[in-house]
Structure 1
Amino acid sequence: MTQPTRRQIIREETTQEILDTARAQMAERGAAALSLRAIAREMGMTAPAIYRYFTDRDALVTALIGQAYESLRQALEEAHQQNLQEGARKQLLAVGMAYREWGVSHPAEYALIFGTPIPNYHAPEETTVPLARSALGVLINVIQEGLQSGELRPLEEYAALSPGLREEQGDIDPQVHLALALWGHVHGLTSLELYNHLQSLVEDPAELFRLELLSKVEFLFSKDSKQ
């Protein structure tokens, strides 16, 4: 394997420093205020020099989105791997809790990929869609494995929705239906917490999240499946 040259190492380190500085700027002022010139000034670089790393603000934003999705995917996958010896329900609970914990500990990145769109920025779907799918894919895989083993079985009331949905939207796999239903629930609660809509209503958002997640898992999956 060819060792990277000193020039390549310096370029990679500088690229990462730019991204780290951008994240700090984003956390302080919001993604819409990102500025390559401001980042260059903070790093002691000239404006023309930083454009050798990112051609424009949109390229920088896309790179930040990529790292955010990968960070989320890693957090979910780690929760999954740490609970491989547990049942599918406990794996779902662990992955769901990891989603909230990632959002709470990465509020700027969460807002970047799930919050208000940045004015005049259009995410390149060929780059961002696969990244989003890879993160949700962790949840889909847990459900798929549980369905295949018989450990998870959708409630009849929910399974009955599939024919109508398939007629309207095409052939969508059951695990995708179930993953979207569960993701919508955990995402909604996480967003309510991060955007301070629970502040005056709930003393312990983490406990509310845990109880609601448990309730949703029990709603989606029949209790008489194999344990």
Structure 2
Amino acid sequence: MTASRTARERVRAELTREIADLARRQLATEGAGGLSLRAVAREMGMASSAVYRYFPSRDDLLTTLIIDGYNALGEAVEQADAASPPGDFLGRWLTACHAVRDWALAHPHEYALLHGSPVPGYQAPQDTIAARVRDVTVFGRIVSEAWRAGAITPPGEATTPPPSLAPDAANIRAVMPDVPDMPDDVIFRALTTWTALYGWVSFELFGQFNDTIEDRRTAFEHSMRLTGELVGFTRADRA
């Protein structure tokens, strides 16, 4: 009885994965807005009613694809950071940035699902949050560890955030690892670098650099070094 249930669960997991894989391929041709459970069912040679037993709606399928995408991106960033020298905070930042760009270029349609235009009529549920913050957590950890190590030297002439932003800085600080004394200006410089990273990757992936930036990897490296300098990263042993 138990073995039989286990076999059924295994078959269900394999079919669920196959449906999700076909849907990911459909993203490349139809986009997220054109995702169709009926089309997936036709390609699998299944009745639509059978596919609905695995994914009751298009939104359920989209949620699975979004969670899978965030987890894949987060894992890529986590592995990149884990392979970097712990005390080289600028190096860790650059490595994590390249991990985001490399993953996006290798999975452009999944990246577009995560960071492109919202899908009409779809509202991401709370289920996506844990996966969505995996990459953000890595960047927050790099900044937090650098701050605790005394390896952040604020750049000269940096603009101080206005007092009205203090509550927002507190919200960001609350999700960073143990940095209650991190100043608001460091928080907002870190936030600026994070948004600059995804802005660059989105510009490259969605064609805004066409006919302007040719050596894109070198330009990306240079730009991310500039953002690292904005945060003020130094090596811990040179602080």
Q: TM-score, normalised by structure 1?
A: 0.90
Q: Following the alignment from structure 2 to structure 1, what is the Cα–Cα distance between the partners of residues 65 and 81?
A: 24
Q: Following the alignment from structure 2 to structure 1, what is the Cα–Cα distance between the partners of residues 233 and 76?
A: 27
Alpha-carbon contact 1:153-1:222 (below 8 Å) kept: yes
Alignment deviations for residues 163-213 of structure 1 (CA, whole Å, 9 cap, x no partner)? 442156655424653442111111111111101111100111111100000
Question: Match of 1:155?
Answer: 155
Question: Match of 2:80?
Answer: 79
Q: How many residues align?
A: 225
Letter in 2 for 1:215: L
Question: Match of 1:45?
Answer: 46
Which aligned pairs between 1:1-227 and structure 2 lie closer than 5 A? 5-85=6-86, 87-124=88-125, 126-155=126-155, 157-158=157-158, 160-161=160-161, 163-167=163-167, 170-173=170-173, 174=182, 176-221=187-232, 226-227=237-238
Alpha-carbon contact 1:79-1:98 (below 8 Å) kept: yes
Structure 2: 5+ residue stretches without partners: 174-181
Alignment deviations for residues 43-64 of structure 1 (CA, whole Å, 9 cap, x no partner)? 1111100011001000000010
Letter in 1 for 2:193: L
Q: Following the alignment from structure 2 to structure 1, what is the Cα–Cα distance between the partners of residues 94 and 203?
A: 19
Moved over 6 A (4+): none
Alignment deviations for residues 121-168 of structure 1 (CA, whole Å, 9 cap, x no partner)? 1111x1223322222111101111111111223336548327442156
Letter in 1 for 2:188: H
Q: What do you get for the CA RMSD once the two structures are aligned?
A: 2.3
Deviates more, 1:137-146 or 1:170-179: 170-179
Q: TM-score, normalised by structure 2?
A: 0.86
Structure 1: 5+ residue stretches without partners: none
Q: Following the alignment from structure 1 to structure 2, what is the Cα–Cα distance between the partners of residues 176 and 11?
A: 45
SS in 2 for 1:160: coil
SS in 1 for 2:133: helix
